Amino acid sequence: MDTIRKNLFLSGAGALGIFSIVLFIKYLLHHHDGIKFEAAGKGIDEKLHESMVALDKATANVQQIFEHIKHLKS
């Protein structure tokens, strides 16, 4: 009877140990993904800003072309 209790205790302790390790690994993987998404978000903001600057420059160039055409017609 003592051997059965000992084996049950060891099995339970092993199961809890494995469960703890799995939870720890899941935590590490989830934490790493959060960092990755945060970095990606910063890259998107920078690209959006660069796109807006490029759009402003293109708009200014088109406006200059239209003004040049108006002056040619006058």
pLDDT of 8-29, one tens digit each? 888 989 898 899 999 888 887 7
At 19, the amino acid letter reads F
Domain boundaries, given as residue ranges, for the chain: 25-74
User: How far apart are the C-alpha atoms of 16 and 22, rounded to whole Å?
Assistant: 10
**Tens-digit pLDDT profile for residues 30-53:** 766 555 555 556 677 788 888 899
Cα-based distances in Å from 37 to 27, 33, 34, 47, 63:
15, 6, 5, 15, 39
